[in-house]
Amino acid sequence: MSEISAITVKGLIKSVATQEGELTILNGINMEVKQGESVAILGPSGSGKSTLLGLLAALDSPTSGEIVLDGEALQHMDEEGKAALRKRKVSFIFQSFMLVDTLNALENVMLPAELAGIDKAKEKAEAMLTRVGLSHRLTHFPNQLSGGEQQRVAIARAFICEPKVLFADEPTGNLDAANSQKVADMLFELNRESDTTLVLVTHDLVLAKRCERQLLMDSGELTEKSATSAQNESIESPVGLHSVEAS
Ligand SMILES: Nc1ncnc2c1ncn2[C@@H]1O[C@H](COP(=O)(O)OP(=O)(O)OP(=O)(O)O)[C@@H](O)[C@H]1O
Ligand SMILES: [Mg+2]
């Protein structure tokens, strides 16, 4: 793992207007993730994990605070700038897969590569799908694929542009134990090989433990802790711990 910063977050606040008044979802988040690191974000439902992931991936804008992604400050970027940044550097695996229903597996994986103008998109997509064990499912449409297969297509799609940072929101949330294991193996394998920074949200302690660091989100506040150890004494403290400054 390098010492180059992949993500730097300072004083991140996200508030939204609701019928009951202003709701603060994220309440002063500070975090630092190094290039090539794998980080799990754990925490109760409704604590703000997906909101944070969306902000880090430049899919949404904060109320205040700073995010620097691979050396680029998001703060003063307009929507076009953020879209360009996402295309070049970021992939996002959504819990609900978000595959395009009218495209088959191969076309779904090719799509981001074609949009990014990458050469030999079809060959690369085919290789990536073979990699995730789906060479026999290239022409299947999403509704002709199992949940685990769809998730693997989403992973192939997320990796085809060789992102600097990969965000995954509960990537194994809808999978059975066997498929969870397969998907997680793939994430870490591809993460290691391409030095991709991996930030994932999960309720799965086994998956969280495989990451180098675990962060805990609670009521919009993020702390660095071996969140898993609180619930499982046998889990050692993660190595390569970086401190999260208190806000
Ligand atoms: N646009 C919005 N308007 C109002 N409230 C919102 C909005 N977006 C999120 N929230 C609220 O903010 C809180 C955090 O939502 P978020 O989706 O980040 O939670 P989460 O930690 O990902 O939860 P889960 O584990 O259930 O996916 C929730 O209480 C949610 O209802
Ligand atoms: Mg969520």
Task: Quote the ligand 1 centre to 161 CA distance (angstroms).
Answer: 29
Cβ atoms 182, 214 nearer than 8 A: no
Q: What is the whole-number distance in angstroms between the Cα of residue 15 and the centre of ligand 1?
A: 11
pLDDT at site 241: 37
Q: Write out the E strands in 81-128.
A: 90-93
Of the ranges 11-20, 177-186, 232-241, which is most confident? 11-20
Task: Tell me the CA–centroid distance for residue 23 and ligand 2, in Å.
Answer: 17
Report the pLDDT averaged over residues 20-37. 96
With the most atoms of ligand 1 within 8 angstroms of its CB, the residue from 13, 14, 18, 23 to mutate is: 23
Residue nearest to atom 30 of ligand 1 (CA): 46
At the topology level, CATH places domain 5-231 in Rossmann fold (3.40.50)
Q: Is the pLDDT of residue 231 over 60?
A: no
In terms of Cα–Cα distance, which of 205, 187, 123, 195 is closest to 151?
Answer: 187
pTM (2 decimals)?
A: 0.86
Q: Write out pLDDT tens, residues 113-139.
A: 998 889 999 999 999 999 888 999 999
Q: What is the pLDDT of residue 229?
A: 52
Nearest CA owner, ligand 1 atom 10: 25
Decide if pLDDT at 142 tops 90.
yes
Average pLDDT over every residue of 51-76? 95
